[in-house]
Amino acid sequence: MTPAQATCLADALVIGYAILEQGGPALIAVECTIGLLEQSGLFNAGRGANRQLDGVQRMDASIMEGAQLGAGAVASIEGILHPITAARLVMEDTPHVLLVGPQATKFAQHCQLAPLPKARSPRRNTGRDLPSASAAQTMRLYRAMLQSQRTGKDQHGTVGAVALDGFGTVAAGASTGGVDSMLPGRVGDSPLIGCGLYADNQCGAVSMTGMGEGIIRLVVAKTICDCLAAGKSPAVAARQVLRMLVSRIQGSAGALVLSPDGRFAIKHVTPYMAAGWWKGRGKPTVRGQFP
């Protein structure tokens, strides 16, 4: 983790906590925390989002609160600075849970959400820029993807947050630019409720990072919540499900897990996971690894 990322994470924790301290809802604390990370350009979300193999940034985000099980998400949204806010507006202003692609983008524009600022220099590009999709170009996209899969190069920089407010409500959020070397149109776990995140006041809140393909197949966030509901601690629940992810399908992920009584755990089976917490005293804790 770079010093700039560490400072940004600490600032995001302070902003989220201040909202809770002033009596604000966990949902808004989660949204504002993630919003700062999206805006920073330092993580794989918002300004810093990865590009798909055609050179386009398509982002996924979701948010959920545990009192009413309200949830909203966007997938493959383009040109919007704060996909997490678009997700909250899907939850609050529509009868739906998930909007995708150009229609998600149109919805966010209709809500007058800020656009992604134009990049001054080309951002991290995980593939080749291929503006149109002729058959030959499509073949090149597939070849580029297979080659990069062989190198095993992937980066885990999704941003996420979980919070518990003074009303006893938990919330979780996630926002991402996806993984390295994605085919255009690829959607990961982050906008899928139960996979990339879950929140229920009766068991807790979970936000995931890592290779979405594995997280989706084991419905990881909801599976961790089910373990919490069965009486396991956040640390035990996270460890157990992450181990299963590795042993069953060689998955790779990290989890933020919070129980309704305020116990929490940060666990990962990736070599590295930049994360932190703050309970309002001293300085926020921010680290790159959690045992």
Task: Report the SS3 class of residue 256.
Answer: strand
Sole binder of ligand ASP in the list 83, 173, 188, 284 (CB under 6 A): 188
**Does residue 44 bind ligand ASP (CB under 6 A)?**
yes
Residue 234 interacts with ligand ASP (CB under 6 A): yes or no: no
Active site residue 158: yes
Establish if 179 lies at the interface with ligand ASP (CB under 6 A). yes
Q: Binding string, 112-141, against ligand ASP, x = CB under 6 A?
A: ------------------------------
Tokens of 194: 């139960």
For ligand ASP, the binding residue among 35, 83, 127, 210 (CB under 6 A) is 210
- Given a contact cutoff of 8 angstroms between Cβ atoms, the answer to whether 33 and 16 are in contact is yes
Q: For residues 188 and 260, which CB has a smaller minimum distance to ligand ASP in the complex?
A: 188
Residues 102-121 as b/e (b if ≥16 CB within 10 A, e otherwise) read: eebbebbeeeebeebeeeee
Compare residues 66 and 210 and give the one whose CB is closer to ligand ASP: 210
Amino acid code (one letter) for 78: E
Which residue has tokens 């398509």? 58
Q: Is 190 in the site for ligand ASP (CB under 6 A)?
A: yes
- Determine, following the binding rule CB under 6 A, whether residue 51 of this chain makes contact with ligand ASP: no
Contacts (CB under 6 A) with ligand ASP, residues 262-281 = none
**Number of residues lying near ligand ASP (CB under 6 A):** 14
Site membership for ligand ASP, residue 66 (CB under 6 A)? no
Indicate whether 212 belongs to the interface with ligand ASP (CB under 6 A): yes
- The conformation of residue 218, written as its DSSP 8-state character, comes to T
Q: Which of 33, 105, 158, 176 is catalytic?
A: 158
Q: What is the DSSP string of 126-188?
A: SS----S--HHHHHHHHHHHHHHHHHT------EEEEEE-TTS-EEEEEEE---SSPPTT---
Q: Does 178 bind ligand ASP (CB under 6 A)?
A: yes
**CA 230 vs CA 206, 257, 260: distances in Å:** 15, 15, 13
State how far Cα 165 lies from the chain centre.
Answer: 20
Residues that bind ligand ASP (CB under 6 A): 44, 156-158, 176, 178-179, 188-190, 209-212
Q: Which sequence positions are flagged as catalytic?
A: 158
